[in-house]
Chains A and B, each alone.
Chain A
Amino acid sequence: KNEVEQSPQNLTAQEGEFITINCSYSVGISALHWLQQHPGGGIVSLFMLSSGKKKHGRLIATINIQEKHSSLHITASHPRDSAVYICAVGRANFGNEKLTFGTGTRLTIIP
């Protein structure tokens, strides 16, 4: 079993829909990261969180440390949100925050 599991693997939705992507992990972490990867490979960091909830524009990320679970929500989804969303967990150890990644959720928003 992978240390970081994401669901769903693929998600197609209509423009304007509310989107939820889930991430579960099985190890102790120092922080959880949500990343966005567009075709061509570039990765952008969306959130880094270790507790509670963060919001940036139409994106909301939550984490439940006890349940080892995080969700990424997108409100009023738009075709430009189409990308692969990757959950990664970090375990800080003597300054090395090695990230362990999920396999990603491919999101497609249809106009």
Chain B
Amino acid sequence: DTGVSQDPRHKITKRGQNVTFRCDPISEHNRLYWYRQTLGQGPEFLTYFQNEAQLEKSRLLSDRFSAERPKGSFSTLEIQRTEQGDSAMYLCASSLGLGRETSYEQYFGPGTRLTVT
């Protein structure tokens, strides 16, 4: 399977614990996005990488959230001191982008569903 993969698919954690999610994009894709989706809503942008550089972070991404893409391949999203409001589906997407002002199709992973109890 050469699509976008995410691990784990489901995570249940207690409030105050730290969690880390992983995303493996399609191998030749240089752009990687993290989105968050709460129940009944559309996804919301969290952050974006072009290769290993994190180029934009949403104001939704508080200091408790950190994302990395160390070698420009897989990415991790860590949430420290989780809160119940962090419960959501965390989606990763990747695309192959060659131009600065051009749109490219984004390919989504299956998501990681986080439940904070």
Residues of A within 8 A of B (CB): 4, 30-31, 33, 35, 40-45, 48, 50, 86, 88, 90, 92-104
Interface residues on B, range: 20 to 34
Are B103 and A96 neighbours in the complex by a CB distance under 8 Å?
Answer: no
Are A98 and B48 neighbours in the complex by a CB distance under 8 Å?
Answer: yes
Are B43 and A101 neighbours in the complex by a CB distance under 8 Å?
Answer: yes
Cβ-Cβ contact count across A and B, 8 Å cutoff = 83
Are A96 and B50 neighbours in the complex by a CB distance under 8 Å?
Answer: yes
Nearest residue (CB) in A for B40 is: A103
Residues of B within 8 A of A90 (CB): 103
Extra inter-chain contacts (5) besides given A41-B91, A48-B103, A98-B48, CB under 8 Å: A48-B104, A92-B103, A95-B97, A99-B43, A101-B44
Residues of B within 8 A of A (CB): 31, 33, 35, 37, 40-45, 48, 50, 55-56, 89, 91, 93, 95, 97, 99-108, 110-111, 113
Are B106 and A95 neighbours in the complex by a CB distance under 8 Å?
Answer: no
Residues of A within 8 A of B89 (CB): 41
